[in-house]
Amino acid sequence: MATLPPDNRPIVVSGPSGVGKGTLYNLLFQRHPETFALSVSHTTRSPRDGEQDGVHYHFVPMEHFEDLISRDGFVEHAKFSGNRYGTSKMTIEEQTKKGRVVLLDIEMEGVKQIKQSDIAARYIFISPPSLETLESRLRGRGTEKEESIVKRLAQAKNELEYSKTPGVHDIVIVNDDLEKAYKEFEDFVYKPLDA
Ligand SMILES: Nc1ncnc2c1ncn2[C@@H]1O[C@H](COP(=O)(O)OP(=O)(O)OP(=O)(O)O)[C@@H](O)[C@H]1O
């Protein structure tokens, strides 16, 4: 039986690329099966090899995406290198109806938009122990080209700066030792309502 967290609001997880967000929430999903659902974003970019529609993204044409924007269908959306990305309200509602707690993996601009929306959410920021550690994790993952690593590190500085704004995040977790960070993450997610 799945044990739902006492607080079932959607959980927004943000933090610089390579900090370990995916590592942490995938552990949460493994250790608490059938409890959480990762929000699947919409995108106008083409699928990469191995990416499945509805699993990695909802792949949609630009017209469809822009139509959804005009009908106020997104909680947040952004444009990167000519493509649009966003989280639809429908995606969150569908998963919530199934009794799952929705987890959103979102970058800084998206966090700002959700904070301005009428969605009640909890906000977790994952921070690296240092920029050097972040760089070595990004390189160690082996998924990025040099140019992309440089861009992500520059963006990381902005994200870390924003994370210091009081009241933006409910918790900032430093991902140094993985199990220690995971425990903090899980404890926050399962925190009693009155704590
Ligand atoms: N506590 C940790 N100690 C050492 N390595 C870690 C730790 N947490 C994650 N890693 C490693 O760091 C790399 C980046 O992690 P991950 O892919 O989860 O980051 P991310 O924040 O989800 O990145 P992105 O936003 O780009 O998807 C991975 O190779 C992962 O195995």
The mean of the pLDDT values for the chain is 94
pLDDT greater than 90 at residue 13: yes
Other C-beta atoms closer than 10 Å to the C-beta of 23 total 15
Residue predicted with more confidence, 80 or 190: 190
**86 torsion bin: left (phi>0), alpha (psi -120 to 50), beta (else):** beta
Instruction: Please count the CA atoms within 13 angstroms of the CA of 77 that sit on its side-chain side.
Output: 20
pLDDT class for 81, splitting at 50, 70, 90?
Answer: confident
Ligand 1: centre distance to CA 173 (Å): 14
Cα 107 to averaged position of ligand 1 atoms, centre (Å): 15
- The 3-state DSSP class for residue 57 equals strand
Bridge partners, 76 (sequence order): 87
Checking if the pLDDT of 1 tops 70, the result is no
Which residues surround ligand 1 with Cβ inside 6 Å? 15, 17-23, 137, 140-141, 175, 178, 181
pTM beyond 0.95: the answer is no
